[in-house]
Chain A
Amino acid sequence: MRRTYLGEFEELVLIMTVILDDQAYGVTVSQEIERHTGRVVTFGAIHNTLIRLEEKGFVTSELGGATTERGGRRKRLFKVTNLGKIALEDIQQLRNRLWKMMPDNNLKPSGI
């Protein structure tokens, strides 16, 4: 099977979507990334990434019900698909395999 390429930031956003479960939308993803990684990301980056992930089939989205807190505007809630889960697992497995192949002392800062 041809593995779809997943960029670093895409992976991050996808993981956040999984973590946030059914509360994942632009605002929460952005806040969580900032909280956990300290990265301040522009909203446009998140917005574009989510659309791209959806195009690749890793997430689906639907507009949530209107609430008064956003002036009656609906949220677009994102949900990870099976393909997305498989992709994440693939990456994780690949990493594990590669980590195991690393000689032990090579990761330590040398000469100290």
Chain B
Amino acid sequence: MNQPQPPQWTKTLLRWLHPENTIEEVEGDLDELYAYSVQRAGKTKALLRYLLNVVTVLPPFVRRRPGKTIYDQPFSLSPDMLKNYFKIAWRNIVRQKAYSMLNIAGLSIGMACSILILLWVQNELSYDRFHTRADQLFRLTCSAGDFKTAVSAAGMARGLQAQLPQIKGGVRMSKQYSLLFEAGEKKMEEKRVFYADSNFLEVFSFPLLSGNAATALRDPGAILITEETAKKYFGTSDAAGKTIRINNNENFTIAGVLANTPSNSHLQFDVIIPMKTMAKWSRDIQIETWGNFNFYTYLELDPKTAASASARQKLTQQIARIFHEHGQTVKIDFQLQPLTDIHLHSNLQIDLPGHGNMQYVNIFFVVAIFILIVACINFMNLATARSERRAKEVGLRKVVGANRYQLIFQFLGESFIFSFLSLVIAIGIVYMLLPIFKMLTEKPLTIHLLDGKLLMSLMGIAVLTGLLSGSYPALFLSGFAPVKVLKGKMRIAGGNLLFRNALVVTQFVVAIVLLVGTAVVYKQLDFIKKRNLGFDKSNLLYLPTTGELGGKQQALKASLAQNPLTENFSVISDLPTKLESGTIDVIWDGQTTRNQVVFPSLDVDENFVKVFKANILAGRGFEKAFSGDSSGYMINEKAMQIMGLNVNNAVGQRLNYDDREGTIIGVVKDFHYKSLQYAIEPLILRLNKWGGVVMIRTTAGNNEQTIKALEKINQQLNPAFPFTFGFLDKDLDNLYRSEQQMGSIFNLFAGLAIFISCLGLYGLSAFMAEQRTKEIGVRKVLGATVAGVVGLLSRDFLKLILIAIVIASPIAWYAMNKWLEGFVYQTTLEWWVIALAGLLATGIALFTISFQSIKAALTNPVKSLRSE
């Protein structure tokens, strides 16, 4: 009798998982086999074999012995059953109109949000992928310490190509120029003009509508314009061969017409002028410089190098080596930036405007998913809460012979009907909202329903929603035991209630996090806008000295000074928002190692300090009385710190900037001349001797008259050029455009998430109130007040929302801190922001519940108790 026994836990496992109708003989057989192999091979081997045998008779390996009694089950997919499912589903939708409305409204709004966001995400990700060799194109960028820039030197494209066989082609693009164009009567300033090498059309795949792509940019007297521009000037897109006058001094022929720049291209241009034209006046091109970084260089690599990160790494090192062989001593690292990364992964200085941000793409993608989840939760909640209504149906179906899988199939099918119905409505909503969304995002988003990929992803969303929202109700409803259900009233199990509560909490966690997010985004934007920039940005008008104004400095200054409206002016070399020149060739007294920090410079005149209302910390500003000021420098605080000076000893120090010897005459308090996303950089102010932009400080309320006065001056001195002007504070605000967009989109979706949550809450509260009709009736008869009843009904929900606040706070705190880290100057994330968001969520939720709870509390108890 002392037979060896295998471990007990395996038997438990076996009994638990093995099919019931064969467990007896299998267990016996296994024991017998175990005893047999213990005899033959010893205990360890026997045990191993036994375990292996056990595994082979567990699902999914084991074959089930068919039961003795076999019912003839109707096939779930037979037409009759399908018809029945549809009929029942439709009846349920129609019978419970309010409930169906809530469900479909929630789901379709959620889906619409997701579709909109996904459209935007897709658009962001599609940038520059339309070029046929997009994955072989790279932009040469460089970095000197923390200063990363998108530009490189004019000689590099050709020089590198000659020495490195991996580089198949290179095209240089100039910075963006703003020129005056004139054809016939039409005379306008074009702001998106680029000079490009003649192989521009070979490297990039911008389609040419008319003209010869091979010769288009070879003739320095012929330019390319886009279709839109052609229509603007010539009224027709067939403009090839026509003549256009640029800057009132030179005529060009139109060599060809390009299709309008695709909106998902980081290069946005209206006119392309051959680089040879620029070579006439640009010294950088004439000498093929390796020292001045003024061009965007795009390189086409051979496919092998382009595909391998290590090969590219090697290439950048070779580029740096060749760069030094050209006599450059500066320590600069080069990078090859993939063309398709430029839009989303670029945070370079002196770059083309209009970049996106990968972080925002990720954030919005997550938000889209969460909104969909919130909508699905609604469906799950309402479906399980109202399960009682369908319990009898489930019971009856089971009695008649339905098995669980059929029921799961049926309920999942119903949720699919809901989700596809919602999809149709969602597409309608998307069509309606698209114009508004386009305005918000400033993106030309379109929805092409016949596009297979889009259709597939829409279907995907619907299927996902159907599965997500239908799975729990399907599993839950199909699990009812028919005896219990049919016997009488079934109490909803506590576990189900807990699950439902968890879902409500999840919904509100999402809503509160989004609310906090919106609040923080706005707070940060406000912080940036209100931050003291170090100079007074309001009422600063600027007038670029275009055309003849540049040559008439004295006349311009004289006429500005005559008018009291414009007399408060200063001529500076560049707008602070567009400051692009700088050098690391800075030598100062007591310097120990060669300078590696880029010092930008700005040329200002004697009025600068007065007009900008900048603060002088030491020394003085430029003054007419001092004739030696032309070799004087003003520096900002940051520059002073880098040079190791202080307020007391800085003035009078010698400074060699860009090979020009001079003395520091003053220190100006740091002012922000770049987006607040960057920390303050050192700045050298030089005396302006040539012109640039005229800045005019107007007095509040006189802006319009000042503009008129300026227009008059422009007309007198510069009749050939149209009058252009701008406000500096508006330009500064534009620097935060993407943050502002993010704020408003965030706002929209946070609002919608809360709305969807409230729809669900409304449904739940209606259900709760209905369930407790009798209880409320009895309470009222016994003397409960309306307020008491409302409180009773709201209390449960209030608890859930409090839990949600507790969970959401740390999540929101962490997420928003992460976002703020991207800013150098950040607002503080205070506790009251989260408290406010929580309070707001609570308020909205209570308001939603109040509809139903007050209605329930006001019902006459006679009515609710009558039916007993």
Question: A residues near B, CB below 8 A?
Answer: 25-27, 30-31, 42-45, 47-48, 51-52, 54-55, 63, 69-71, 73-76
Does A74 contact B28, Cβ atoms closer than 8 Å? yes
Does A73 contact B24, Cβ atoms closer than 8 Å? yes
Does A44 contact B55, Cβ atoms closer than 8 Å? yes
Bound Cα distance from A63 to B29, whole angstroms: 12
Among the stretches B31-39, B193-201, B301-309, the one at the interface with A is B31-39
Q: Which listed residue (A25, A44, A69, A75) contacts B62, Cβ 8 A?
A: A44
Most buried by B among A47, A69, A75: A47
Chain A min CB distance to B298 (Å): 64
Question: B residues near A, CB below 8 A?
Answer: 3, 22, 24-33, 36, 52-53, 55-57, 61-66
Given contacts A26-B26, A27-B36, A44-B61, contact A55 B66 (CB under 8 A): yes
CB-CB < 8 A to A48: which residues of B?
A: 61-63
Given contacts A43-B57, A44-B57, A47-B57, contact A75 B29 (CB under 8 A): yes
Query: What would 9 more interface pairs be, CB under 8 Å, given A27-B29, A71-B28?
Result: A26-B29, A27-B32, A27-B33, A48-B62, A51-B64, A54-B65, A63-B25, A70-B28, A73-B27
CB-CB < 8 A to A52: which residues of B?
A: 63
CB-CB < 8 A to B22: which residues of A?
A: 47, 51, 76
> What are 13 A-B contacts defined by CB distance under 8 Å?
A26-B33, A27-B32, A42-B56, A44-B57, A45-B56, A47-B26, A47-B29, A51-B64, A70-B28, A73-B25, A73-B28, A74-B28, A75-B25
Bound Cα distance from A47 to B25, whole angstroms: 10
Does A30 contact B28, Cβ atoms closer than 8 Å? no
Closest to B56 in A: A44
CB-CB < 8 A to B28: which residues of A?
A: 70-71, 73-75
Bound Cα distance from A42 to B25, whole angstroms: 16
Overall SS of chain A's interface: helix
Bound Cα distance from A99 to B182, whole angstroms: 98
CB-CB < 8 A to B3: which residues of A?
A: 69
Does B31 contact A71, Cβ atoms closer than 8 Å? yes
Bound Cα distance from A51 to B29, whole angstroms: 15
CB-CB < 8 A to A73: which residues of B?
A: 24-25, 27-28, 31
Does A70 contact B32, Cβ atoms closer than 8 Å? yes
Bound Cα distance from A30 to B53, whole angstroms: 11
Bound Cα distance from A55 to B65, whole angstroms: 8
Chain B min CB distance to A57 (Å): 12
Bound Cα distance from A43 to B25, whole angstroms: 12
CB-CB < 8 A to A25: which residues of B?
A: 25, 29
CB-CB < 8 A to A54: which residues of B?
A: 65
Chain B min CB distance to A51 (Å): 5
CB-CB < 8 A to A26: which residues of B?
A: 25-26, 29, 33
Bound Cα distance from A7 to B27, whole angstroms: 27
Does A44 contact B53, Cβ atoms closer than 8 Å? yes
Chain B min CB distance to A31 (Å): 7
CB-CB < 8 A to A71: which residues of B?
A: 28, 31
CB-CB < 8 A to B57: which residues of A?
A: 43-44, 47
CB-CB < 8 A to A45: which residues of B?
A: 56
CB-CB < 8 A to B64: which residues of A?
A: 51
Does A51 contact B56, Cβ atoms closer than 8 Å? no
Closest to A70 in B: B28
Most buried by B among A43, A55, A69, A71: A43
Does B53 contact A51, Cβ atoms closer than 8 Å? no
CB-CB < 8 A to A70: which residues of B?
A: 28, 31-32
Chain A min CB distance to B374 (Å): 46
Q: Which listed residue (A27, A31, A42, A55) contacts B52, Cβ 8 A?
A: A42
Bound Cα distance from A63 to B24, whole angstroms: 10
Chain A min CB distance to B801 (Å): 53
Chain A min CB distance to B217 (Å): 73
Chain A min CB distance to B741 (Å): 62
Bound Cα distance from A74 to B24, whole angstroms: 7
Given contacts A27-B33, A74-B28, contact A47 B52 (CB under 8 A): no
CB-CB < 8 A to A44: which residues of B?
A: 53, 55-57, 61-62
Most buried by B among A44, A54, A69: A44
Bound Cα distance from A103 to B109, whole angstroms: 78
Bound Cα distance from A52 to B3, whole angstroms: 32
Chain A min CB distance to B14 (Å): 11
Closest to B31 in A: A70
Chain B min CB distance to A46 (Å): 9
CB-CB < 8 A to A31: which residues of B?
A: 36
Does A76 contact B63, Cβ atoms closer than 8 Å? no
CB-CB < 8 A to B30: which residues of A?
A: 43
Bound Cα distance from A25 to B3, whole angstroms: 20
CB-CB < 8 A to A42: which residues of B?
A: 52-53, 56
Bound Cα distance from A42 to B52, whole angstroms: 7
Bound Cα distance from A48 to B57, whole angstroms: 8
CB-CB < 8 A to B32: which residues of A?
A: 27, 69-70
Bound Cα distance from A55 to B61, whole angstroms: 17
